[in-house]
Structure 1
Amino acid sequence: MNKWLISTFAAFLVISGLAACAYQDQQQAKENESVPVNVSNQANHHTQSYKDVEIFNPDKEKIGHARLAQTPKGVMIQLKVSNISPGVHGYHIHETGKCEAPDFKSAGEHFNPVTKEHGFENPKGYHAGDLPNLKVDEDGMVSMTTITKHVTLEKGKANSLVDKDGSALVIHEKADDYKTNPAGDAGARIACGVIK
């Protein structure tokens, strides 16, 4: 009888542990769904409206472009840029649609309509304008598509990128560490494009 009880209790512990792990994995998946993600397959994203953005460097030279499109899954940002240093660069949506060279400080801070802190790894974060880092090839080029559900191109909403002063896409000189407030210790702004 005692052996049966011990075996039953051990089986119960194993099943409980498996259930807890499954629940934890499910919760983590839900959290990850809310973080902007890079996507390679763009075929299944029906677009409703879009904005084209020209990207400039501090010398006022056009170095790339982006297209932002409203989709059922959020705003899809297709970015292509060249002539920037190889490596990892911070990449964000900023609150003001101004890109005055050479420092692009006119773009203001990160787009943050719900007043959070910065960074995907920050327990108090993250900004609606936080995006995954860009990984630039040795030839100085990058092409990346990201989808974020925290912003919209619909006018009149608090998280709209097309409010009265617009917004901007900004690339930084260094990688975003995803935790340091207010900008991930990503350094100077090296490229900017106005979202009108």
Structure 2
Amino acid sequence: MRKLNLLTATATALTLAACGAMTSAPSGPSAFAMLSPTTGNATTGQVRFAPSGGDKVVVSGEVRGLKPNAEHGFHVHEKGDCSSGDGMSAGGHFNPAGAPHGRHGGARHHAGDLPSLKADAAGVARFRFESRSIGIGGGPADIVGKGLIVHRDPDDYTTQPTGNAGPRLACAVIARG
């Protein structure tokens, strides 16, 4: 009988822990992007967008084929179109509020202005950051169906409207997932 009570108590504790983990997990839709190189480039990657309580979105991923030990502009663009070889079919930066270009997290910036990627010595950028500028699954800042671009150069955060980040190395369409 004592073993049965111990097993029942253990099963109950595991069930409650699982329920607690399920209720504390982020709710709402997530999104992803599979970056493909533009013509003449080798940059690829995967990016995940996940809700993180309230109005935050966690952006995480890995991008390969970058210039080693360099920064690269990283932006959500207005069109989910990667059909042109140079990535220009994705349009300009996603900017539903009509704000000036600026630093992600700064007082004023495009919704699509994300932090520059920092490649390691092997040309790989691994990243994870939170954004309050973008949304998933509704509202004016919804990024689903928009383009995601990795640029050759770092974003200077001041040149209007692009940040002077140079040519587009990779492009993706952000999809729900």
> TM-score, normalised on structure 1?
0.69
Higher relative contact order (CA 8 A, sep 6+): 2
How far 1:104 sits from its partner (Å)? 0.4
Residue of structure 2 equivalent to 1:10: none
- Aligned residue identity for 1:65: Q
Change (3 A) 1:79 1:101: farther
- Aligned residue identity for 1:168: G
- The structure 2 residue matched to 1:148, chosen from 115, 124, 131, is 131
Q: Is 2:96–2:111's contact at 8 Å kept on the other side of the alignment?
A: yes
Query: How much identity, in percent, do the aligned residues show?
Result: 34
What are the equivalent positions in structure 2 for 1:109-124 lying under 5 Å apart? Answer: 109-120=92-103
- The structure 2 residue matched to 1:169, chosen from 134, 137, 148, is 148
1:93-138 Cα offsets, whole Å, 9 max, x none, are 11111112421011111010000110129x9941011011111011
What are the equivalent positions in structure 2 for 1:21-32 lying under 5 Å apart? Answer: none
Change (3 A) 1:75 1:170: same
Residue of structure 2 equivalent to 1:95: 78
How far 1:190 sits from its partner (Å)? 0.6
How far 1:49 sits from its partner (Å)? 2.0
- The structure 2 residue matched to 1:66, chosen from 24, 30, 47, is 47
Change (3 A) 1:76 1:176: same
Q: Is 1:85 the equivalent of 2:67?
A: yes
- Aligned residue identity for 1:189: R
Counterpart CA distance in 2 for 1:185 and 1:61 is: 21
Q: Is 1:48–1:71's contact at 8 Å kept on the other side of the alignment?
A: no
Residue of structure 2 equivalent to 1:5: none
**Is the radius of gyration larger for structure 1 or structure 2?**
1
* Count of aligned pairs: 148
Counterpart CA distance in 2 for 1:124 and 1:146 is: 17
Q: Is 1:80–1:144's contact at 8 Å kept on the other side of the alignment?
A: yes
- Aligned residue identity for 1:190: L
How far 1:61 sits from its partner (Å)? 6.3
Q: Is 1:108 the equivalent of 2:87?
A: no
1:71-94 Cα offsets, whole Å, 9 max, x none, are 215111112111121201111111
Counterpart CA distance in 2 for 1:136 and 1:47 is: 31
Change (3 A) 1:61 1:185: closer
Change (3 A) 1:58 1:112: same
Q: Is 2:43–2:170's contact at 8 Å kept on the other side of the alignment?
A: no
- The structure 2 residue matched to 1:188, chosen from 167, 173, 177, is 167
Q: What is the root-mean-square deviation in Å for CA atoms of aligned residues?
A: 2.3
Change (3 A) 1:46 1:116: same
Unmatched 5+ stretches in structure 2? 1-23
Range with bigger deviation, 95-104 or 57-66: 57-66
Residue of structure 1 equivalent to 2:118: 135
